[in-house]
Structure 1
Amino acid sequence: MTDYGHDLLFGSFITPGNAAPERVVGLAQLSEQAGLDLATFQDHPYQPSFLDTWTLLSYVAARTERITLAPNVANLPLRPPAVLARSVASLDLLSGGRVELGLGSGAFWDAIEAMGGRRLTPGQGVDALREAIAVIRALWDTSERARVDLPGEYWPLAGAKRGPAPAHPVGIWVGAYKPRMLRLTGQHADGWLPSLGYLSSMQDLDDANARIDDAAAAAGRDPRAVRRLLNVGGRLSARRSTDLLTGPPEQWVEQLAVLALEHGTSAFIATGDDPTLLTVLGQEIAPAVRELVAAERGGAGTAPAAVVAGEA
């Protein structure tokens, strides 16, 4: 049983399609109105049917007041980290501290290369991401007056000026699945942001958490410093199902509570662009999950049922 004790967050994972931009913005506004904590967007700059994610985040920030915004996850090969650092800090300042940074090493390399990005092997992608995190953190650190010199193969800095500093300590949440990326997450990141659909079982989730924990401890970090987030698919239905997150709201509540209490997840980001699901998630499911998890953490209440029989 693993519970890292973080406060629970709930959010939306919105497809940034450009055929109906007002609907995309409307889903983010609905997320805020429903009481969700996060609105996040895919980032695929090579996809012509999508709005540019950073432009979209900036526009949505101006059309909302409370909700936190993040790319899920930013495509590093097409967003140089020094420029990305300034973009994130600027939007965080403009929005009053409502930005977090999901960050990925890249995928779909043919499309990335077609847009002028450098094709990398998986190992190179890990190294480039490690360098990028160092670049971003260095440019955000305005407590030092010296300019930034960071030698590197992928993202070197040579006398770069620092700043601006974000309005709040922006978290860097890494999308990771393979062992080296998971170790990097434990060593350097503030959060782990995978999609449940890419994990074959709850054991995969537990094994990945263990890799992150081991890497964090080896680096002298408390494993609890790494928040565990999760993109989750599913649907609401009137009848209970043996499938994960397919059933009535009370089934969602029980299963999300198990993911929090037994599998370490503290942020649940719903995929699928379903306005009904987002509304029910924010208004009904999230408060009930928070109540159930708080009761269990306090030693009261009845433990929720397993996520899927035999897997929890």
Structure 2
Amino acid sequence: MLLRVFTEPQQGASYDDLLAVARRSEECGFDAFFRSDHYLVMGEPDGLPGPTDSWITLAGLARETSRIRLGTLVSSATFRNPGVLAISVAQVDQMSGGRVELGLGAGWFEAEHRAYGIDFPDTVGRFDLLEEQLELITGLWDTPLGERYDFAGKHYRIVDSPALPKPVQSPHPPVIVGGAGKRRTPMLAAKYAAEFNAGFKTLDETAELFGRVRSTCAEVGRDPATLDLSVAHAVVLGKDDAEVRRRLEIYDAADVEEVRAHALVGTPGEVVDKLGRYAAIGAGRAYLQILDLSDLDHLDLIAAEVLPHMT
């Protein structure tokens, strides 16, 4: 199982904070550095110094790292025009030498849309945007050099596009689709994604989601083995119970029991065991949500005591 570091910078992080975590993640041997795509803090923290844009951040990190893969889990279809997003991601792929992955979702956090004047359609409308964006973005990337691309949908229309620039990766950067939707989510993953992500779900819930998306792949004539499966979970690791308790202090008291019940919490052996259970049902990648971005020793411990058992 590949281990990837996943950050939530809307909770309060500067670009320099993210750079420090990305560099340490690379030094430690993690497979990737991912970040959320949000513009507003969640919960009680003040979120200072304020939000950072995910693709501007990843462009900077593309030039300041050399090996680690970079991506979003996930960008919101409500935030950006898909033609512009296709250009941005292709450029960051070039800047990184072909290390970018695009996680794309329908968006869900209504408050951040109100806070920054972004339209927030209903659930069906957001999934309509997502479906058109997945087709449009991959269509632009996959158009052969010298040919033109046209698209006519309900929300977007493209006429006579040169479909440039091209990303480095062929056929294009991996696309990640995730979520718990019963119909449209697995269909979109089967049609457009290289990876399906089940985020913050129990083992049984994850197995159900994996089974659903595998079945959908078979229904549309895709070999389910060609779709990578992944999970995302908060991780709170300590050398002993005392260190685990100390790292849990970043969570609100009301959330600690839920975190203990569902996240990757414990000593190295306990966390390795929990990850192994997800690997046994098909997860080939795990996104480890790190909330305290100043605690680089946490990354060192995961790399020393968990990573060697998962690769």
Normalising by structure 1, report the TM-score. 0.82
Q: Which residue number in structure 2 is paired with residue 106 of structure 1?
A: 107
> CA separation in 2, counterparts of 1:108 and 1:250?
35
Q: Which deviations, in whole Å up to 9, do the C-alpha atoms of 1:105-154 show, x marking residues without a partner?
A: 11123432553433222122222211111111111124264321111112
Cα offset, 1:270, TM superposition: 1.2
Secondary structure of residue in 1 paired with 2:71: strand
> CA separation in 1, counterparts of 2:146 and 2:15?
42
Q: Which residue number in structure 1 is paired with residue 306 of structure 2?
A: 285
**CA contact 1:11–1:270 (8 Å) conserved in 2:** yes
> CA separation in 2, counterparts of 1:115 and 1:251?
42
Identity rate, percent: 29
Secondary structure of residue in 2 paired with 1:103: strand
Q: Which residue number in structure 2 is paired with residue 251 of structure 1?
A: 270
> CA separation in 1, counterparts of 2:138 and 2:262?
41
> CA separation in 2, counterparts of 1:277 and 1:192?
27
Change (3 A) 1:243 1:187: closer
Secondary structure of residue in 2 paired with 1:182: helix
> CA separation in 2, counterparts of 1:33 and 1:255?
25
Q: Which residue number in structure 2 is paired with residue 11 of structure 1?
A: 4
**CA contact 1:102–1:193 (8 Å) conserved in 2:** no
Secondary structure of residue in 2 paired with 1:194: strand
**CA contact 1:270–1:278 (8 Å) conserved in 2:** no
**CA contact 2:38–2:112 (8 Å) conserved in 1:** no
Cα offset, 1:161, TM superposition: 1.7
> CA separation in 2, counterparts of 1:166 and 1:222?
25
Match of 1:31 among 25, 30, 40: 25
Q: Which residue number in structure 2 is paired with residue 223 of structure 1?
A: 224
> Which stretch shifts more, 113-122 or 281-290?
113-122
> CA separation in 2, counterparts of 1:289 and 1:19?
29
> CA separation in 2, counterparts of 1:125 and 1:107?
9
> CA separation in 1, counterparts of 2:221 and 2:118?
34
> CA separation in 1, counterparts of 2:92 and 2:116?
25
**CA contact 1:186–1:214 (8 Å) conserved in 2:** no
Cα offset, 1:27, TM superposition: 0.8
Q: Which residue number in structure 2 is paired with residue 117 of structure 1?
A: 118
Q: Which deviations, in whole Å up to 9, do the C-alpha atoms of 1:175-212 show, x marking residues without a partner?
A: 3221122332123211122321xx2x322111111111
**CA contact 2:198–2:232 (8 Å) conserved in 1:** yes
Q: Which residue number in structure 1 is paired with residue 44 of structure 2?
A: none
Q: Which deviations, in whole Å up to 9, do the C-alpha atoms of 1:218-253 show, x marking residues without a partner?
A: 111111222112221131231498875222112222
What letter matches 2:181 in structure 1? K
Cα offset, 1:16, TM superposition: 2.4
CA RMSD of aligned residues (A): 2.2
> CA separation in 2, counterparts of 1:140 and 1:153?
21
Q: How many residues get paired?
A: 279
Q: Which residue number in structure 2 is paired with residue 265 of structure 1?
A: 283
**CA contact 2:177–2:196 (8 Å) conserved in 1:** yes
**CA contact 1:173–1:193 (8 Å) conserved in 2:** yes
